[in-house]
Chain A
Amino acid sequence: MTRFLAASDVMTVKEAWWMYLLGGLVTLFIIAGSLFFAYKAYKRAKELEMPKENLKKTIISSVSFSILPSIGIFIGVITMAGLLGVPLPWIRLSVLGALHYELMAVSVAAEGVTVSALTVENFVTIAFVMTIAIIWGAIFALFFFKKYQEKVIDKVKPNDKKSFANLIFQSVFIGMIAAYFGDAFAKMINYEVREVVDGAYTGVILDRTTFVPLIVFVSSFIFMAFFDYLVTKKNQKWLENFQLSLSMILGMAIAVFLGMGGIY
């Protein structure tokens, strides 16, 4: 341990065994917490006599659905590993945060830093900034979520089909999907890419346009329609839990094919 206490070399620190240990600890904490709440929900479901089939459906669809986006998140670890080593990005992307946020944290906590210029002080500062600046949602939930639920959410009577309240939540979902359609559509008109080298923004902004996200969006939509047809009209019930993941894979495969043809 004493050897590491004196660790001033950032290369040693960012790949140190105790950093991996911390990553393992964070991972175990998340698994334990998730299992705890899942178990409580399961017990409650039993009390309410909810069909087991529904719980099974929820688990299978959630796991299968989460695999691809999680691989996407893991690629963020690789992106950042050049500058920060593997364990810190692993930890940060396992908890509250996201790749673009963490990259922004790097650029504001150690402006213009490069792999060769990174110091232990930079590394510690970056780790603190990443941890503090994203915490607000969790703190707000900690203090105010209960009140918000009592005062606002509970005013909505979900079982009243005729009430407008039920439509509010559907509208939020539709708004969200439309916003992501816009995200894909806008990139067809203009798309600025902030260049990342060795896990940090270089400050160079590349101006581009791309049709690919819109094509991916629309094709995933069409694949989903096709699978939905198979499930509802052709009675292929087994597809139900996987239709979303399959539609995504096929949509993403189209992006790969377009890329092979030189269209990015």
Chain B
Amino acid sequence: MKDYRARMHFYGRIFTVLGIAVMFLVPFIIWAVTGVGPNVEQLLVGVVALSVLYLPGGIIEVLTYGPILGTSGTYLAFITGNLINLKIPCVMNARELVGTEINTEENEIVSTIAVAFSSITTVIIMTLGVIMLIPLRPILNSPVLAPAFNWVVSALFGALGYKYFKHHLKLVVAPLVVVIVLSILMPTFVYGNIVIVILIEALITILFARILWKKNLL
């Protein structure tokens, strides 16, 4: 296990460096080809404004989702993106089906394969979409289909929620009560800061689980 992991850290880090390089290649090539550089002032303002949110956000995501994604899964997912709306639920679903425990080597393998095939599916669909954009645009943009994709995340977590709720019925009570109260008191905060809400909810569930566990109720 140690050996395999060490190699995955090694390859994962190379992949991350390459991935960052590929991402940066895009704006630099636009600059090189057009001969027009970015507006430095707007660039700085933009990066600082967004980083206030996304620097702590990125760190929290690695800390929270790293254990779920496993070694190579983490490196892959933090380049290919779409974590909470795709990669994490995808891994959760795969582990639930296969029945692996977190931080085992089997789980590393399952989560890596899940993240890898999820990433491949996404980029293939995106590419097909770009190729077929002209016939697809009116269909995907149609007001009839709009609600479906507007609420795809609710459908995703509703469906995924069933198995987790079924297996941990006692644990569900506290986070549900808290989130309902929060939603009634501060609705804009709840849907506007989902990363923070996930963190709060996770901590509450852990605390609640701790109490039940100590009382031997689980």
CB-based contact B209/A142 at 8 Å: no
CB-based contact A31/B120 at 8 Å: yes
Partner of A255, one of B39, B85, B117, B151: B151
CB-based contact B197/A33 at 8 Å: no
Per the CB 8 Å criterion, the residue count for chain A at the interface is: 158
- Given that A58-B114, A77-B126 are contacting pairs, would A141 and B66 also be in contact in the complex, using a CB cutoff of 8 Å? yes
Q: Render B182-213 as a binary contact track against A, CB cut-off 8 A, 1 for contact.
A: 11100110111010011111111110111001
Kindly list chain A residues whose C-beta atoms are within 8 Å of the C-beta of B198.
175-176, 179
| 16 A-B pairs (CB sep. < 8 Å) | A25-B25, A31-B120, A36-B11, A54-B98, A63-B117, A72-B149, A120-B36, A133-B54, A134-B58, A138-B20, A138-B58, A169-B102, A178-B175, A184-B158, A221-B158, A224-B162
Q: Render A43-87 as a binary contact track against B, CB cut-off 8 A, 1 for contact.
A: 011001010001101110111011111111111011001000011
Kindly list chain A residues whose C-beta atoms are within 8 Å of the C-beta of B166.
225, 228
**Chain B contact residues: over half helix, strand or loop, or mixed?**
helix
- Given that A48-B105, A72-B152, A96-B81 are contacting pairs, would A29 and B19 also be in contact in the complex, using a CB cutoff of 8 Å? yes
Kindly list chain A residues whose C-beta atoms are within 8 Å of the C-beta of B119.
30-31, 34
In the complex formed, the residue of B with least CB distance to A240 is B97
- Given that A48-B106, A109-B43, A149-B66 are contacting pairs, would A62 and B117 also be in contact in the complex, using a CB cutoff of 8 Å? yes
CB-based contact B154/A251 at 8 Å: yes
Kindly list chain A residues whose C-beta atoms are within 8 Å of the C-beta of B59.
136-137, 140
A23 contacts partner chain B, Cβ-Cβ < 8 Å: yes
Give the docked Cα–Cα distance between A174 and B208 (Å).
12
A196 contacts partner chain B, Cβ-Cβ < 8 Å: no
- A122 CB, min distance to chain B CBs, angstroms: 8
